[in-house]
Amino acid sequence: MDSSRTHMAQDWRGLLIRGIAAILFGIAAISWPGLTVATLVLLFGFYILTDGILGVINAVQYRKITTHWLYWLLERALVC
C-alpha cells in the first residue's frame, strides 16, 4: 500500500470531521430554505476556508512521508 494511503488510514479523524462538516452544511441548506443566499454563501465560504487550511496543514505534515505532498499543498491552497 502507498505510504500516503497508509498514513491517511491512520489519521481517519480529520477525514471524519471534514465529512461531518460537509453533511451538516448540506442538512442546514436543505432544512432552512428560508435562509438567504448570502447566509448560505457565508456558511459555505467558512466551510471551504476551514477545509483548505486543514488540508494545507496535512500536506505540510505529510511532506516527510510521501513524495506527492506538494500536489496536496497546491490543491488545498487553490481551494482556499
What is the average pLDDT across 33-61? 81
DSSP assignment string, 15-79: HHHHHHHHHHHHHHHHH-TTS-HHHHHHHHHHHHHHHHHHHHHHHHHTTTT-TTHHHHHHHHHHH
Digit-coded pLDDT (tens) for 46-57 = 888 888 888 788
Percent of the chain exceeding pLDDT 70 equals 85
Residue 11 has pLDDT above 80, yes or no: no
Mean pLDDT of the chain: 77
Task: Please give the pLDDT value at position 21.
Answer: 83
Residue 1 has pLDDT above 70, yes or no: no
